[in-house]
Chain A
C-alpha cells in the first residue's frame, strides 16, 4: 500500500509539488535562521566574554555586589598562589587577570603644565607575557593609528579620546587616579597607538595599558580587580560554566569573608542570561509561527487538492475503503512529502549556512549606532540542531495541514457517492 502511495505522489506532481515547495522554503528559512542566530548569539557571547565577562569571572564577594561600578578598591590581591591552585583544579580554563579603573588623563604642554584633561575608563591587561589577551581584545584589528605597546609605559587610547584631546602618537601623558588603598597616584605613559572597538563605553574614553604598569600605579602588586576564565576549547556552555562555578564557590568562597573569591558565569553578568533566554524563546516563537503559517498554507493546499481528488476519494469510499483509512492515507502522503521536503530544505539551508559560516554576513552598514557587543561580520554557525530542527516545521506543519484539510473526508456522505461520481 505504501508503494502505491509513493507511486501516486511521484506521478501526480500537482499532488506533491506545491506542498513540497512550501516545506522546502519553510525548512530552508528555519535552518538558515537557526544557524544565523547561533552565529549571532555566539558572536555576542564571544565579544562579551573577550571584552568583559570571560566565560567565567572571579572577583571578591564585595566586588560582585557592586560589579557594575567596577570598584577596583575591592580587588583580589596576592593572586599568584590562588591562581596556581585554580589552574591545577580547572585545567580546562585559561585565566586572564584584568584591572578596570577610572582615571584622569592629563595632557601637559611643552612646559609641563596641564594643557587639557579628560576622564578615562582604563583597562589593564597582560599585553606582554602572552599574545592571548591581544587576540581576545582583537587589538591588532582595532588599531587605527600607531602600534601596539611594545614595552612597559606605553598605552593605547581610544580614537575618539585621541581626537578630542588633540593627542599625538608618542606623546607623554599622565594618568591620575587613586591607589587601591585610597591614596592619590600619578603615572606617565607614552601613547603608542589608537584603537576603535565599536563599543561606546570603550570608544568614548578608553585607555588600555599593561597590567604590570597599572598594578604599580594603583599600588596593587599581584592583584587584579577581575580574573577572567576562558574555556580552552573556546566554546561557552552555560551548564558547564554553572557547574564549574558551583564547584569553585563551594571550594574557595567563604560567605563570611567579603574579600574571598566568588566565581560568576557569563550568563550571570550584564543580563546576558536573560538575553540568552530571550534568544531561545525567540527561536521557539519563530518556529511556532512558522509551523502555524505553513500549516495554514498547506491546509489550503490540501483543501484544493481534496477538491481535485474528489472523484478519487469518492470511488475509494464506494469500493469499501474506510474513511479513517483514507484520512490516514492523506496524512501519510503528507508525512512523506514533509520528510522529503525537509531533507531537501535542510540540505539547501545548510548549504547557505555553510557559505555564511565561511564568508559571513557584513552587518556594519546596519549597526553603526549599536551599543551591543557583536562582530560587524556575523558568521552563521551550524550546530547539530541545524540538522534536525527543520523536521519540526517540515513534518508538523505538513501533517497538521493534511489533518485539517482531511477532515472534509468525514463530512462526505456515502449516500451521495453515485450522484457525485456521475457528474
Chain B
C-alpha cells in the first residue's frame, strides 16, 4: 500500500481583495501517495497554482489542514518550511528560471550546496542528474546556449538532483513546442518510475494530460473531479 505523502483536509485559502475575502480554494480534500504522476487541471484562476503553493509550503492555508510528509505546513516556521523545500521538494517552473551566470553543472549543483553535501558526493549526484536528463555533454554550457527544451531538462535535473520525495511543476511545458514537450514529459515520467518521486503538475496542456495517471480538475477553487487515468 503506497504511503500517503500529502493530505489536504477541507482546505480553504482566502486572499484579501478590495471587496473582502476571495476564496481561491474551497474545501479541497485530496491525498497524494508516493510515486504519483498527477495533474491539476482547470482554467486560469481555478486555484491550481495556489494549491501548488500550499503543498510546496510557499504559502499556508486559511482553513483546514495540509500535511506534507507528516508536517502540517501552517505550523512550520520560515526556517522549517525552507528546510522542507530544500530537502524534500523540487520545483519546476514554466520559465525554467535557471541562474544565467552559472553553467548547467553549477545550476544543478546549487540545491546540493544549500544542503551542504560533501564535494565528491555532490559531483556524482550532479553528473547522475544530468545523465537522467541526457545533458552530460552540456555540463559546461551556459543557460543562454541551450534550447527551451534543454533548459527545462536542466530545470528537471536541478529539481531532481537532491532526490526529493515530491516535485511540483507549474505549467512545465507551456513554453515548449510539441517535440520538446514530449521529450520533457518522457524524462519526468521516466524519473517518476525509476526513482519513485511524486510528480504533481498544474497544467492545461493536453500533451501533459496525456501523460498523467491522475487528473484532478479544479473549477472556481473546488475539486470538480478527481480521476485515476491509468
Contact = CB atoms under 8 A, between A and B. Distances in A.
Interface of A: 1, 4, 7-8, 11-12, 15, 311-312, 314-323, 325, 414-415, 417-419, 421-422
A418 B170 CA distance: 8
B63 interface: no
B102 A8 contact: yes
B104 interface: no
Given A4-B113, A8-B102, A320 B82 contact: yes
B89 interface: yes
Given A4-B106, A418-B53, A422-B170, A321 B86 contact: yes
Contacts, number: 77
Nearest to A13: B101
A315 B101 contact: no
Contact of A312 (B52, B93, B99, B113): B99
A322 B99 contact: no
A319 B52 contact: no
A311 B113 contact: no
Contacts of B85: 318-320
B176 interface: no
User: Which 7 residue pairs across A and B have the least CB separation, nearest first?
Assistant: A320-B86, A415-B59, A320-B85, A315-B97, A12-B101, A11-B101, A414-B58
Contacts of B101: 7-8, 11-12, 15
5 contacts: A12-B101, A318-B91, A319-B91, A414-B81, A418-B49
Given A8-B101, A311-B97, A418-B93, A319 B58 contact: no
Interface string B32-76: 000000000000000001001100101100000000000000000
B206 interface: no
B149 interface: no
Contacts of B58: 318, 414-415, 417-418
B95 interface: yes
Nearest to A415: B59
Contacts of B7: none
A323 B59 CA distance: 15
A398 to B, nearest CB: 20
Interface residues of B, number: 33
A320 B78 contact: no
Contact residues of A: prevailing secondary structure: helix
B219 interface: no
B94 interface: yes
A308 to B, nearest CB: 11
A422 B173 CA distance: 12
A421 B174 CA distance: 14
Nearest to A422: B94
Given A8-B102, A414-B58, A321 B93 contact: no
Given A312-B99, A318-B91, 14 more contacts: A8-B101, A11-B102, A315-B91, A318-B85, A318-B93, A319-B86, A319-B111, A319-B114, A320-B85, A321-B114, A325-B114, A414-B81, A418-B53, A421-B93
B97 A322 contact: no
The CB with the most chain B CB atoms within 10 A, among A318, A323, A325, A418, is that of A418
Given A12-B101, A415-B58, A421-B93, A322 B106 contact: no
Contacts of A419: 49
The CB with the most chain B CB atoms within 10 A, among A15, A419, A421, is that of A421
B224 to A, nearest CB: 21
B93 A315 contact: yes
Nearest to A320: B86
Given A322-B78, A415-B59, A418-B170, A315 B99 contact: yes
A320 B102 contact: no
B111 to A, nearest CB: 5
B107 to A, nearest CB: 10
A314 B86 contact: no
A316 to B, nearest CB: 8
A15 B99 CA distance: 13
A314 B85 CA distance: 13
A7 B140 CA distance: 13
Contacts of A1: 113
Contact of B114 (A8, A11, A320, A421): A320
Contacts of A317: 82
A374 to B, nearest CB: 52
Contacts of B97: 311, 314-315, 421
A422 to B, nearest CB: 5
The CB with the most chain A CB atoms within 10 A, among B83, B94, B101, is that of B101
Contacts of B79: 322
Contact of B102 (A7, A321, A325, A422): A7
B10 to A, nearest CB: 20
Interface string B165-183: 0000011000000000000
